[in-house]
Amino acid sequence: MVTVYRGTVLHTKSFDEFEVFDHGFIAVDNNGKIIGLGKNYASWLKQYHIPAEDLSEVRLNDYQFIMPGLVDCHIHAPQYAQLGLGLDMPLLDWLNTYTFPLEAKFSNRNYAEHVYRGVVESTIRCGTTLASYFATNHLDSTLILAEEALRQGQRALIGKVCSNCNSPDYYVEKTSDSISSTELFVKAVRELKSPLILPTITPRFALSCTKDLLTRLGSMAKRLDVHIQSHISENLAEIDAVKGIFKTGYAAVYDNASLLTKKTVLAHGVHLEDAEIALIKERGTAIAHCPASNTMLSSGICDVQRLINAGVTVGLGTDCAGGNSVSIQNAMLRTLEVSKHLEFFNKQHISGSAIISQPNPLYKPLKYTEALYLATLGGAKALALDHVTGNFVEGKEFDALLIDVSIGEKPNRTYNATELLEKFIFSGDDRNVRVVFVAGKIIKGYQK
C-alpha cells in the first residue's frame, strides 16, 4: 500500500533553502519510506503505475500541512519529573540542589518506568520524532527508557550517564563500573535490534568525569562506533572550574580524550572561544542549541549564527528541565526570541532608569524558516542521522507531522503555505500537532 498526502508540504534542504509545495503531495510506501514528493501528482502517478487498490489518498484541508518531525538534540529524560520547577539557581547550584537528588531516585525501576513513560508521551505529543536522551547513572533504568521509546515508536538515541567525580556521594560511580555498565548498555540496546533506538556514550560533562574516564569512553566510542553526547561551555563558573582542573580549554579536554567526533553532539556552547569553535568544526562535532535552558539557568545568550557561520552543525535541544518546555516548537520560538535580543546587544545605553536599545545594523536575526531547519534537518545532521531523517527526500524515512493551525483558534481567513508555518512556530502548541509519524507509522493521532 502507498499512502499519499495531498496538500501543503514543506521542509528545508539546507540552512537557507526552504522548500514549499502548496497543492503538493508526498507519497510513502509500505515500509515507511518516502517514494515521491512535489507539485505534480498526476505525472508522478503516471510514472509509478500504482494500481488504485494499492493507493490510499489523504487530503489535507486549508489549515493543515505536512512538515518533517521535530528533532530534540538534547533532553534529560529523568528531569521531566522536575519540569518547570527549581529554575531559580545557576547551573552548578541547580545540579547540587535539585538535579542530582532527583536523578539518584532512578535507582528505583518503578519510579523510572513512571517518569520515562511520561517524558516519551509528552515529547511525542509535541511532535518530537527523534530525541537524544540523557538518562541517569543507572544501567537498569536507562534500559527502561530505551524500551519505552521503542514501545511508543519514537526514534531515539539513549545514553547512560557517566560521572565518577565532583558529584555527591549518593550519585557517583567508580570508574570501572561506569565503563563496564556503559559497554553493557551499548550491547543491550543493540540487542533490541530496532533501527529506531541507538545507544550513545554520555559523559555528563567534563567536571563530573576524570581524564581517565573520558579517555576510556573516547576509545570505547571508537571501538564500538557509537554516538557521543555531553555538555560544553554552558556557564562561566563551570568553565573556570574545568580550566582549573584540566589546565586546558573546555573543547581541548574532550579532544584529548578523542571525544570530538562526527557522531558527537555537545549541548550549549554558549561561551566557546573562536579557536574552540574552529576545533569543533574541524572534528565535525555538532552543537545542540538550548535557548530555554540558557535563559532559565542564567547561563548566557548563545549566538548560534556565530557557530553556523563558522561551519558548525547546529540543532536544537529542549534541555528539559534546565529548559522549562519539552517542545521543540517552543525551542524554535525561543531561538528566534534570543536571536532578536541579540540584535539589540551592544547597542544599549542607559537613559535615566530606562535601558534604550537600538538595533545593531550588522546583525540579522534568524528567520523562522532557518529555525525550522535547526529544528529538523539541522538536528538530524547534528545527530549524524540525516541520511535517514530530517527532511523529505526519496529514500528517507517518513518522520513527519501533520499540523493543523485551526486547532485552538477560529481562523477568519485562509493562510498561504508560509503563513501556516509562521502560525505554528509563533502561536502554535502541541494541540496543533495533529498526527505524528515515525518511519511511516502513526505514533500520535489518526488520519481520516
Residue 55, beta-bridge partner list: 2
* Angle at the Cα of 282 from the Cα atoms of 280 and 287, rounded to 5 degrees: 30
Task: For the CB of residue 296, give the shortest distance to ligand GUN in the complex, in Å.
Answer: 9
What does 34 interact with, of ligand GUN, Fe ion, none (CB < 5 to 8 A by kind)? Answer: none
Task: For the CB of residue 131, give the shortest distance to ligand GUN in the complex, in Å.
Answer: 15
Contact track, Fe ion, 252-271, x by CB under 5 A:
---------------x----
Size of the site for Fe ion (CB under 5 A): 2
Our CB check for ligand GUN shows the closer of 76 and 423 to be 76
83: cell is 519540569
Which 8-state DSSP code applies to residue 29?
A: -
Our CB check for Fe ion shows the closer of 79 and 329 to be 79
Our CB check for ligand GUN shows the closer of 95 and 150 to be 95
- Residue 251 half-sphere exposure, CB side, CA atoms within 13 Å? 24
Task: For the CB of residue 201, give the shortest distance to ligand GUN in the complex, in Å.
Answer: 15
Instruction: Specify the residue for cell string 505525472.
Output: 43
Distance CA 63, CA 41 (A): 20
Are the C-beta atoms of 171 and 113 separated by less than 8 Å? Answer: no
Task: For the CB of residue 98, give the shortest distance to ligand GUN in the complex, in Å.
Answer: 10
Distance CA 220, CA 199 (A): 12
Asked whether the CA dihedral 280, 284, 288, 289 is positive or negative, the reply is positive
Task: For the CB of residue 327, give the shortest distance to ligand GUN in the complex, in Å.
Answer: 17
Our CB check for ligand GUN shows the closer of 8 and 294 to be 294
Please choose, from the candidates 286, 240, 235, the residue with its C-alpha nearest in 3D space to the C-alpha of residue 265.
286
Task: For the CB of residue 92, give the shortest distance to ligand GUN in the complex, in Å.
Answer: 9
Are the C-beta atoms of 167 and 175 separated by less than 8 Å? Answer: no
Which 8-state DSSP code applies to residue 291?
A: H
What does 404 interact with, of ligand GUN, Fe ion, none (CB < 5 to 8 A by kind)? Answer: none
Distance CA 365, CA 361 (A): 10
What does 91 interact with, of ligand GUN, Fe ion, none (CB < 5 to 8 A by kind)? Answer: ligand GUN
When binding is defined by CB under 5 A, the residue of 303, 319, 399, 404 that contacts Fe ion is: 319
Please choose, out of 147-155, 157-165, 200-208, 318-326, the segment that lies near Fe ion by the rule CB under 5 A. Answer: 318-326
Distance CA 326, CA 126 (A): 7
What does 99 interact with, of ligand GUN, Fe ion, none (CB < 5 to 8 A by kind)? Answer: ligand GUN
Please choose, from the candidates 445, 376, 401, 431, the residue with its C-alpha nearest in 3D space to the C-alpha of residue 127.
401
Our CB check for ligand GUN shows the closer of 317 and 379 to be 317
Our CB check for Fe ion shows the closer of 319 and 430 to be 319
Residue numbers at the binding site for ligand GUN (CB under 6 A)? 76, 91, 95, 99, 204-205, 231, 234, 293, 319, 322
Based on the shown chain and the rule CB under 5 A, indicate whether residue 386 belongs to the binding site for Fe ion. Answer: no
What does 386 interact with, of Fe ion, ligand GUN, none (CB < 5 to 8 A by kind)? Answer: none
Task: For the CB of residue 119, give the shortest distance to ligand GUN in the complex, in Å.
Answer: 14
Task: For the CB of residue 79, give the shortest distance to ligand GUN in the complex, in Å.
Answer: 6
Distance CA 264, CA 288 (A): 10
Distance CA 446, CA 448 (A): 7
In 3-state terms, what secondary structure has residue 80? Answer: helix
What does 204 interact with, of Fe ion, ligand GUN, none (CB < 5 to 8 A by kind)? Answer: ligand GUN
311: cell is 561551519
Task: For the CB of residue 52, give the shortest distance to Fe ion in the complex, in Å.
Answer: 51
Instruction: Specify the residue for cell string 562506533.
Output: 225
Residues engaged in binding Fe ion (CB under 5 A): 267, 319
